[in-house]
Structure 1
């Protein structure tokens, strides 16, 4: 049973898996993983016949995800995977049913950079489509992080991240005229870091 789950879903983010179990993305057919790495979050979508796209700043990662996608060329062309910055996507407006942003936005250099990445991902989502985000926050560890300016912090695990909080996420939800289709949820990892799930839907 465990082997079958791993074969079907790979090493997918557990909170993205949660949305799949809930059927949130059942009507989605075109998927962009913005900051795709080597493809851990797209294996299920490739195997299930979705049209999958991915961008990453690392050419090596794009080589790897093209290799992962090669057996599914009937639905997903290798040309769908590109070396690009998330804030400078080359795709046309409203192309995708779902954009995945997993562990990407917390590498923003400052609030302007964060908003540039967010806005360009939002631009390519069709009306009624979804944005799935997992990103670092200070929620629950507010007194344990140390500001170094420009919205960036040193976490208790000594990593450096751009951090959001709930007020900021709610403010951007309103600014995008988006709907929260799930409450904002945060996992506190032993007071060393906090990872927040932010699930948005674009209005028709």
Structure 2
């Protein structure tokens, strides 16, 4: 059973898996993973007839996801994957049914960089499409993080990240005229760091 699950879903983000189980993305056809890494969140999509795209700043990661795509979905075009930053993706407006951005946005250098990444993700998403984002936040550990300026914080686990809070995410949701298709959820990892799931539908 374990091998079968691993083969079907790979090392998928558990909250993305939750959305698949709920059938949220059943009507989607085109999927972009923005900051795809080696493709850990794309195994299911590649094996189930989706047209899959990915960008990452690491050339090595892009080569790795190309190998994964060739193995799992030979018909999926390898030039769907390219080296690019989330804020500067080589796609037209309104082209993807689903945009995944998992554990990427908290690497924003400052507030302006974060804003440009979020608006880039929104730009390439079709009306009616879904944005699935997971990112670090201070929700639940507000008194344990140290502000180092321009949206970045030192976390108890020793890392430095760009952090959001619920007010900020709700502000963007409103500014983008988005709809939360899932409540904002945060996982607290023993008060060392917090990861928040932000799920928006484009109206």
TM category, shorter: over 0.9
Alpha-carbon separation, structure 2, partners of 1:85 and 1:73: 25
- 4+ runs deviating over 6 angstroms: none
Are residue 158 (structure 1) and residue 158 (structure 2) matched? yes
Alpha-carbon separation, structure 1, partners of 2:60 and 2:2: 30
Alpha-carbon separation, structure 2, partners of 1:146 and 1:26: 41
Within 5 A, what are the aligned runs for 1:125-140? 125-140=125-140
User: TM-score, normalising length from structure 1?
Assistant: 0.98
What count of residue pairs does the alignment treat as equivalent? 202
Are residue 35 (structure 1) and residue 35 (structure 2) matched? yes
1:82 alignment partner in structure 2: 82
Provide the aligned C-alpha RMSD in A. 0.5
Query: What residue ranges of structure 1 are gaps of 5+ in the alignment?
Result: none
Tell me the SS of whatever aligns to 2:17. Answer: helix
Alpha-carbon separation, structure 2, partners of 1:201 and 1:111: 23
1:76-135, Cα deviation, whole Å (9 max, x unpaired):
100000000110011011110000000000000111100100001100000100000000
Alpha-carbon separation, structure 1, partners of 2:116 and 2:48: 31
Query: What residue ranges of structure 2 are gaps of 5+ in the alignment?
Result: none
Offset, 1:2: 1.4
Offset, 1:73: 2.3
1:13 alignment partner in structure 2: 13
User: TM-score, normalising length from structure 2?
Assistant: 0.99
Alpha-carbon separation, structure 2, partners of 1:182 and 1:85: 27
Tell me the SS of whatever aligns to 1:183. Answer: strand
Tell me the SS of whatever aligns to 1:184. Answer: strand
